[in-house]
Every structure is written in structure tokens, then in C-alpha cells.
A and B are shown apart, each in its own frame.
Chain A
């Protein structure tokens, strides 16, 4: 199903989506563009390269309440926070980020227990993907081509959006996406010409070139196992790292979390929130033993987890080449270069 709307009517579409439930879309902040829950349709912008933070927060918020409790002299009263996500939409997700949701699904839904918090929000959210503009060069940090993703890849999106000079074109990718497209009366039906335009534009997306190297999941996974004990390599590659964890927070496929109780006077919340394998006490045991006290050991864990362990466990690399970790790193560490050098060892 193909639908369209004139560019100047974006506000109408945004309003229509807001009526359906919470809408997350790119908004220009003081320093960067990021996804926000929209309260004013005029805030939504489509002229942006990519958001600073990944959209993973929609299913895996930075902080999420699990249990609320009240400490008493005799007993503690507590109540599990119920799962009641509202049907929502994320508008403007770039293809690499849309792909990240599928990778995260393998962990949160596909193996062992189903994570109820991820599942609740994931099920009820419709993702409107948004092709990178083929007339703009890819950011130098990006390497999504290396992970087999193109600037107009529809994988992971429910609806895929492409901008033309005058219109926004929407193509239903999944049943969920088609359902939403049908419901949006503000959209016009696309013509045969529009369909051709969509296909042409999508094809052009394939011509956008990011950094690229030939990698095979299994081969790189095996290579990193070989390189694991090469202390010199890891120390050199991560010498500048200050272990700040920024790379993991901006990453669309980092999912490590902590669970902790926060109490103020008698009232408290047990919550889970983002944590990072880059932090010193991530693996600090109650006995005082810490298996990864050094920065190179922690950085090695991050790289090996994404490019080796994840391949063995879930059958795919846990990276989409969005380039955020490289852009946000205060000391210019670049995971692409590390994989590239490790492959040559």
C-alpha cells in the first residue's frame, strides 16, 4: 500500500498521529536533533541527518520503574508497576536504527524468557522508517553499508517514508503498518507514478556510500576469539579511552542494564536503568573481586560482545553501523577501525 501527503501538510499528519496515542518524532534541541514525545505538531522536523540518541528508548527507556514500595515500621508495602504501554508511533527512524530493533528483539524476545517490559511497548508501537536523503553524503562516521544496510532499507520498519520534492511517500511494509496507513484519512492514495517515484528513490538510496569493509559474521566472530589474548593490541586500540560509557548510551543495540532501589524517606522505586560494560564496577563482585578492572578489558568486552559473542549466541552482529559511538566519543575511538585492524592481525 502506498500513500502520500504534501510536504506542507506534515503538521496535519502529525496531528492525526498524535490523536492515535503518544508520537515520538525528531525535534531540534539546543545542541542536537533527538526523538521526543510530540506535544506541538510544529516541533517535528524532517531536515536532519540522524538523532544524537538512538530510538531504543521507546522500548527500553533509560530508566523504568518495576516496583513501587513504601517502607513501614512493621512491613513494607509494595506493588508491581503494571505494564500498560499505550499504542504509539515513532516517526522518522533511519534504516540502520530500524534494523537495530530486530537485533534487540533476538535478545529480549527470541531467547530464554520474554522480557515483559520490552515486549509490551514493542508490540504496541508502529515504526515509520525514513530513508536517508540520497542527495546528501553519508556522515564520515557511518558504516551501515558494512553491516549490509542501505540508506533506504525497509527492514525493521512497519511503514517506510521517502521524501520527494513536494511529497512524503509512505509504503506499508508490515500488516501493522498497512493498518495504520488505512486509518490515516489525512493521507491520499498514491498513484502509479508515485509508486515508480518511490521505487526510484529507494533504488537511489542504494547508491549512498558509507565506509565499507567486507565482513562475514562468523569470520569476524572467530577472528576476535583469536585476538582476545593479544593484550598489546587491545591496550593500544583503547589507550585513549576514558571509560565514560557514552558509546554505549547512544548505541541502538546496547542493552545492558542495572536494577537498583531508590528510596526517598519511606517511599521508593525499584527500577532498571541503562548500565554499561565500560563502567569500572560493572563486574565488581560483593567479595571485592573484579574480573575486568582495566579499561582495555572492558572495551574488549564491548567489541567482542557485539562482533563475536552475539554472533555465536544470536546469529548476527549486534551493530548497525549508525556511527553514533564514533561521533560521540570524546577521544575519537572508532569501533570500525578496531574491527578493521583486528581483521588484519
Chain B
């Protein structure tokens, strides 16, 4: 049996700086051993521990989709407050060609079977769009697209320069099988798109709760104001999904750190419906 605490070696093959503040980068990683690549079977919503020996490990959502074989991608924000951010800072200092480690895939995923046959409303804010990007790529793949109903996306950032995955957003705008609503809190001289906060835009778009599920990821403040919009639209708590943040170490349900109620966020989550979260103590 593979020791779950020992990372698999990967090589950084591409680095994209996503935002104008330079503190969010997407890393493309290729497995050094073919066998590891074959064993790394994942679904959108799962995460992995990125490991740099001498620095530590950091749990990061997988931003690529299993429909993009050959590599995995992670979008990482450099944290860097006083006591934390050691690993994310070290990641940001890497160049193409560097070798690091990956443990995973870890956690549950967006519930693909549950989403099948339904309209999916994807709501994201800022840099918390990573596993939603994975989900969108997954659903838009030609083999998968017929399995889902209408797909709409509300994605917002504070400024145009803070939107991640700009090329992909532009490509999705051109497609007929996905409705994009990209918004910024405040535009600049070149911004021709929508202005407004994510909750407001959700209200304007007003998706029907009929046979629909919404998946929401973003900063806590965005989630707090977006939830009531969906309740008002008539979405049941079972059909509002999110991905929880919690400090993690082992990623395999052993070290006790991400324990909330009788759940371990790393293993039983990170994806939960708001109906499930209602049953947990308010401790996250």
C-alpha cells in the first residue's frame, strides 16, 4: 500500500501569473513517474497537498480538470502574513523546471452524479474560483456536456486586474452552451463588462430554482450576502453547495486539525451542502 504521507514527485512545467497584484499564480505540474500520474484519479472539487521539503505542505484545490490529462494545475495565492504563508511563498519563488511533491487527490468532490441532469449555477468570487474552474472545464468537455442542463456562471472580482483565468473567461463568453456573467466591483478605463457585487448580479440574473443546483465559492463576506439571494429565489439548502476552508495537515482524516463536529473537512469535505453545514456546530 502506498504510504499516504509520502508525496509523489512532480515537475513544474508552466507558471501563469493570474492577477495584476502578482500574488496569485497557477502552477502546472507534471508527474515524474508515469505510474503516479495513472494513479492520480480525481474529480473537480478535490484538493491535494503541495509539498516543498524544507518548507512544508499546503492543501490546495485542484484547478485543472480530469478532462485535461497529462498534468494537474493549482492556483495559489501567496499568503505571507507573519506566521503563515511559508509554503505558498516558497511556491511563488519557484521557476519552471523545479521539482516539488504532491499528495492526493484528497477529499470529496463536487457531487457530479447529483449535478447530472440539472441546471448548474456556478458562483465564484476572487481567487476562490479554482475548483469551480475545474468543474466548468469538466462539464463543458464534449463527452460530458450532454449530461448537464443549462450552465450559468456568475464570477466576480474587485477589479478587472484581479480576475483569474482571463483567457478562459473570454473563450467561455463566446460559447453558446454556457452563460457567463463576469462582474467587477469597480471597473477601469478599459473595462467594458458588468460592474456590481456578486450577490447583486445573482439577483439580476435570477436563476430559477427549478431542477437547479448552485455551487458557491468565495470570500466569507460574499457567501454571506449571496446565500439570502438564493434562498429568496427558492433554492433549497440541499441544492446550495460550497467548499469549506479549514486548516489542514495530513489531508487523510487523521491529524484532527480540520475537525468540525463529527466531520473531518479534509476527508468528509471540503464540499458540503448548506443543509449539511446546518447540522454542524458553528465552529468553522
Residue positions of A touching B, CB distance < 8 A: 66-67, 69, 71, 75-76, 78, 80, 83, 107-108, 111-117, 225, 228-229, 255-261, 263, 268, 270, 272, 275, 277, 281-289, 291-292, 297, 301, 304-305, 308-310, 312-313
Q: Are A113 and B4 in contact (CB under 8 A)?
A: yes
Contact among A69, A259, A297 for B57, CB-based, below 8 A: A259
**New contact pairs (7) apart from A115-B254, A285-B246, CB-CB < 8 Å:** A116-B3, A116-B5, A225-B281, A229-B282, A257-B250, A286-B58, A286-B81
Q: Which residues of A contact B245 (CB under 8 A)?
A: 285, 287, 289
User: A260 near B56 (CB under 8 angstroms)?
Assistant: yes
- B256 partner residues in chain A, CB cutoff 8 A: 255-257, 275, 277, 305
Q: Does B174 contact A (CB under 8 A)?
A: no
Q: Contact at B257–A282, with CB atoms within 8 Å?
A: yes
Residue of A nearest to B85 (CB): A286
Contact A275 B99 (CB under 8 A): no
Chain B count of residues within 8 A CB distance of the other chain? 38
Which residues from B are CB-within-8-Å of A285? 84, 245-247
Interface centre among A83, A229, A259 (most CB of B within 10 A): A259
Decide if A80 touches B6 in the complex (CB within 8 Å).
yes
The chain A residue with its CB closest to the CB of B5 is A66
Q: Is the CB of B83 within 8 A of A259?
A: no
Given A225-B281, A275-B255, A309-B261, A257:B54 Cβ within 8 A: no
Q: Which of B84, B99, B250, B257 contacts A75 (CB 8 A)?
A: B99
Chain B contacts of A116 at CB under 8 A?
A: 1, 3-5
Closest to A258 in B: B249
Beta-carbon contact of A113 and B253 below 8 Å: yes
Please report the C-alpha to C-alpha distance between residue A75 and residue B12 in the assembled complex, in whole angstroms. Answer: 13
A259 x B84 contact (CB < 8 A): no
Given the contacts A76-B99, A116-B1, A285-B245, A291 and B283 also touching, CB distance less than 8 Å: yes
Determine the distance from Cα of A310 to Cα of B261 in the docked complex, in whole angstroms. Answer: 9
Q: Is the pair A112, B259 in contact by a Cβ cutoff of 8 Å?
A: no
Q: Which residues of B contact A67 (CB under 8 A)?
A: 6, 53
Chain A residue with minimal CB distance to B248? A285
Whether the Cβ atoms of A111 and B253 lie closer than 8 Å is yes
User: Could you tell me if B83 and A281 are in contact, using CB atoms closer than 8 angstroms?
Assistant: yes
Which residues of B from 241 to 276 have beta carbons under 8 Å from A?
A: 245-247, 249-250, 252-257, 259, 261-262, 267
Cβ contact of B267, chosen from A112, A308, A309, cutoff 8 A: A112
**Would A256 and B53 count as touching, CB distance under 8 A?**
no
- Note all chain A residues with C-beta closer than 8 A to B255: 256-259, 272, 275
Interface of B (DSSP majority class): loop
Contacts of A310 in B (CB 8 A): 262
- Most chain A beta-carbon contacts within 10 A, residue among B53, B261, B282: B53
User: How far in angstroms is the closest Cβ of chain A from B22?
Assistant: 17
B binding-site residues for A, Cβ under 8 Å: 1, 3-6, 53-58, 79, 81, 83-85, 88, 99, 220, 245-247, 249-250, 252-257, 259, 261-262, 267, 281-284
Q: Evaluate contact between B259 and A71: CB separation under 8 angstroms.
A: no
**For A108, what are the chain B residues with a Cβ–Cβ distance below 8 Å?**
254
Minimum CB–CB distance for B79 against chain A, Å: 4
A291 touches B284 (CB 8 A): yes
Interchain CB contact under 8 A, B267 and A284: no
A286 to B80, CA, bound (A): 8
For B100, give the chain A residue with the smallest CB separation: A76
**Do A283 and B257 touch across chains, with their CB atoms under 8 A apart?**
yes
Question: B257 to chain A: which residues have CB within 8 Å?
Answer: 256, 258, 275, 282-283
Closest CB pairs A-B (n = 3): A256-B256, A312-B262, A286-B79
How far does the alpha carbon of A108 sit from the alpha carbon of B255 in the complex, in Å?
10
Compute how far the CA of A108 lies from the CA of B247 in the bound complex, rounded to whole angstroms. 20
Min Cβ gap B154→A in Å is 22
Give the residue name and chain of the A residue nearest to B261 (CB).
Answer: A309
**Are the CB atoms of B58 and A69 closer together than 8 Å?**
no
CB neighbours (8 Å) of B58 from chain A are 286
How near does chain B come to A110, taking the closest CB pair, in angstroms? 11
Chain A residues with Cβ below 8 Å from B247 are 282-286
CA distance A256 to B4 in the complex (A): 17
CA distance A285 to B258 in the complex (A): 10
A69 to B255, CA, bound (A): 22
Contact between A66 and B262 (Cβ–Cβ < 8 Å)? Answer: no
A255-B256, A259-B255, A284-B247 known; A228+B79 contact, CB < 8 A:
no
How far is B99's CA from A153's CA once the two chains are assembled, in angstroms? 53
Residue of A nearest to B99 (CB): A75
Hey, which chain A residues are within 8 Å of B55, CB to CB? 261
Please indicate the chain B residues that have their CB under 8 angstroms from the CB of A263 in the complex: 54
- Can you pick out 7 interface pairs between chain A and chain B where the beta carbons lie within 8 Å of each other? A71-B53, A257-B254, A259-B249, A261-B53, A263-B54, A272-B250, A286-B79
Distance in Å: Cβ of B54 to nearest Cβ of chain A: 5
A77 to chain B, nearest CB (A): 9
